[in-house]
Amino acid sequence: MPKQACDDAVRAERLLLKGRKERRMNEWVFTFGSGQLNEGKCVRIKGDYGEARKKMVDRYGVQWAFQYSAEEWDAWKKDPNRAWFMETEIPFEE
């Protein structure tokens, strides 16, 4: 492989790994669905995908609906066509 191509591949791999690392440590939003105890509310939890999910299950069991990254959630909240409003956040203390 020519040196330039190798250097480009290394740079691309570093960017990919950086993106994955940033995605791993994040803030996650969990929602509660229709008919559940906290219907129409959400919880924000920090950690990587699996850690946040474990914290949610430890606290609420499986009585919740979906897990979103904070970025996905914030984009959804800005969408004027959304059909469901979950504005109330339940504080999550570890």
How far is CA 61 from each of CA 27, 52, 74, rounded to the nearest angstrom? 19, 13, 25
User: Per-residue confidence of the chain (94 residues) as pLDDT tens digits?
Assistant: 555 555 555 565 565 555 544 555 699 999 998 889 898 899 999 999 999 999 999 999 999 999 999 999 888 888 888 766 666 788 887 7
CB 83 within 8 A of CB 57: no
Tell me whether residue 4 is in a domain.
no
Tell me whether residue 12 is in a domain.
no
Tell me whether residue 7 is in a domain.
no
Distance, CA of 66 to CA of 30 (rounded, Å): 6
Q: Is 94 helix (H, G, I), strand (E, B) or coil?
A: coil
- Domain count of the chain? 1
* Residue-number span of the structural domain to which 47 is assigned: 25-90
pTM greater than the 0.85 cutoff? no
* DSSP letter assigned to residue 91: P
Tell me whether residue 72 is in a domain.
yes
How far is CA 89 from each of CA 11, 38, 41, rounded to the nearest angstrom? 40, 10, 6
